[in-house]
Amino acid sequence: MSDREFAIKYLKTLEKKYKDYFKHSSLDIMNCVVIKGKKTLSAHVINEDLPFEISFDIETMFWVD
């Protein structure tokens, strides 16, 4: 599994974790983030309306020092 595939799988898992939000807002998590990089990936939240908990989970997983 490539790093990009792993990142997408993680994001899809978050979407399932917060399924009520995504169902009611008619959003897909992949429309709320952009994945950047090749060797070191990062995911950036592009939907500012995403609840704090979801944004925090994404930023925590992809935080780069």
How many Å apart are CA 41 and CA 16, to the nearest integer?
Answer: 22
pTM: predicted TM-score of the whole model, two decimal places: 0.86
Please state, for a pLDDT cut of 90, what percent of the chain lies above it.
Answer: 75
Structure confidence by residue, pLDDT tens digits, 8-32: 999 999 999 999 999 999 999 999 9
Total number of domains constituting the chain:
1
Classify residue 21 as left (phi > 0), alpha (psi -120 to 50) or beta: alpha
Q: What is the DSSP letter of 38?
A: S
* pLDDT for the residue 64: 57
Interior angle at CA 53, CA 50 and CA 55, nearest 5: 50
Range of the domain at 35: 3-61
